[in-house]
Amino acid sequence: MGQAFAQNIKRNESSIAYTVHALKAVMKTRPEPGVTVKDIPVPVIGDDEVLIKVKAAAICGSDLGIYNYTPAYSKMKLPVVMGHEFAGEIVETGKQVKGYSVGERVLSESVKACKKCGFCKVGMSNLCDESTLFGIHTDGGFAEYIAVPYKLLHRLPEGMSYEEAALVEPLSNALHFVKDITPFKSGDFVVVQGCGPIGLYSAQLFKLGSARVLITGLSVDTVRFKIGERLGIETLNIQKESLEDRVMELTNGEGADVAFVAVGAPPAVKQATEIVKKRGHITVVGIFGKEVPLDMTWIVRRELKIVGAYDAKPENFPQSIGLISSGKVNVVEVLTHRFSLDEAEAAFRVALDKTGGKVEFIP
């Protein structure tokens, strides 16, 4: 991080019009659960970077893993400013920045990829071997300002709010999971397991593809069930009703065409194998804190397919912007809470307790 933040003094001497010296940020500073709100120097941008005044930044499921410091994030860089879902206004541009200027409203992709490896060359920078992520490897968007390479930027269309724009990244993830990874056709029966924000976005995308969708959750998910219902998606509380019974009843005992596991709970994957039909497809997008036990013989004899899906490709960003601005996907219906950076603890509490949908910081 040393290089990411230059000293205030240097900045004061420079000729730029911009004169803020310190910024507030929500940081991960120690290898233990929790977050810290700190004042840190404003980052000095590189020649190919812009400085963004963050207007909205959303908490992701992965940020909860970081908050709890689960094993999946034990190799992250500390200290670091968290957050990779953000949008804001450009307040400064580096010398080599092309096509963007001060005052423009932008959002950013979350993966800084090498652009040279085999995956990057075919547009799959989500699988880049050398990539770094905002909020894990380099300073992220839970802050008043962030430095971003201009090549990761996307302009906000007129009429798109910053609150919506900060949700383009998670929608891009859902779009990759659903459109690029999960084969389904009109009329297919799809079970989305987990009604967190990614589950709710993915369910909307399956519906958009004319699938019949059932989304599941637990008793704790009352607010999320209501969001699902408002979006016209059938819901099921698996603590109150048997998912397997409902699926079999709705499919004449055959099973679902697709199960989409949008939770990091191992039993959900096992259950997915039990509710899809023979030759059925299972997409898994949850991040798991431990290994997942499965009955392989059952999977073999039914010729099931289990596929992982991770992050988003660059092309998913303009696609998501289009889906939001055309009104085809409603990202804001899922947004239930807004907090200042100082209220980080309360914001994370809502997200961790699942008492809301998407939670945003409005710095």
- Asked if residue 1 binds Zn ion (CB under 5 A), the reply is no
- Asked if residue 351 binds Zn ion (CB under 5 A), the reply is no
- Asked if residue 120 binds Zn ion (CB under 5 A), the reply is yes
**Interface with Zn ion (CB under 5 A), residue from 1, 4, 76, 114:** 114
Exposed/middle/buried for residue 144 (C-beta within 10 Å: 0-12, 13-18, 19+): buried
Please check whether residue 57 is in contact with residue 110, taking contact to mean a CB–CB distance below 8 angstroms: no
CB of 358 to Zn ion, least distance (A): 10
Residue 358's SS3 state is strand
Please check whether residue 278 is in contact with residue 302, taking contact to mean a CB–CB distance below 8 angstroms: yes
- Asked if residue 56 binds Zn ion (CB under 5 A), the reply is no
Question: Which range, of 45-53, 59-67, 194-202, 294-302, touches Zn ion by CB under 5 A?
Answer: 59-67
CB of 197 to Zn ion, least distance (A): 9
- Asked if residue 113 binds Zn ion (CB under 5 A), the reply is yes
- Asked if residue 261 binds Zn ion (CB under 5 A), the reply is no
Question: Which range, of 111-119, 145-153, 324-332, 346-354, touches Zn ion by CB under 5 A?
Answer: 111-119
CB of 297 to Zn ion, least distance (A): 36
CB of 8 to Zn ion, least distance (A): 31
**Interface with Zn ion (CB under 5 A), residue from 44, 56, 60, 269:** 60
Exposed/middle/buried for residue 107 (C-beta within 10 Å: 0-12, 13-18, 19+): buried
- Asked if residue 117 binds Zn ion (CB under 5 A), the reply is yes
Q: What angle do CA 302, 303, 307 make, to 5 degrees?
A: 125
- Asked if residue 165 binds Zn ion (CB under 5 A), the reply is no
Question: Which range, of 106-114, 216-224, 240-248, 337-345, touches Zn ion by CB under 5 A?
Answer: 106-114
Question: Which range, of 43-51, 67-75, 120-128, 346-354, touches Zn ion by CB under 5 A?
Answer: 120-128
- Asked if residue 128 binds Zn ion (CB under 5 A), the reply is yes
Phi-psi region of 97 (alpha: psi -120 to 50; beta: other; left: phi over 0): beta
In angstroms, rounded to a whole number, what is the distance separating the alpha carbons of residues 298 and 270? 10
- Asked if residue 52 binds Zn ion (CB under 5 A), the reply is no
CB of 353 to Zn ion, least distance (A): 19
In angstroms, rounded to a whole number, what is the distance separating the alpha carbons of residues 210 and 204? 10
Residue 276's SS3 state is strand
- Asked if residue 57 binds Zn ion (CB under 5 A), the reply is no
Question: Which range, of 10-18, 119-127, 136-144, 264-272, touches Zn ion by CB under 5 A?
Answer: 119-127
Query: What is the residue-wise DSSP string for 17-59?
Result: S----EEEEEEE-SSSS--EEEEEEPPPPPTTEEEEEEEEEE-
Query: CA torsion angle for 273, 220, 334, 212 (degrees, to 10)?
Result: 30
Please check whether residue 321 is in contact with residue 214, taking contact to mean a CB–CB distance below 8 angstroms: no
Residues at the site binding Zn ion, with contacts judged by CB under 5 A: 60, 113-114, 117, 120, 128
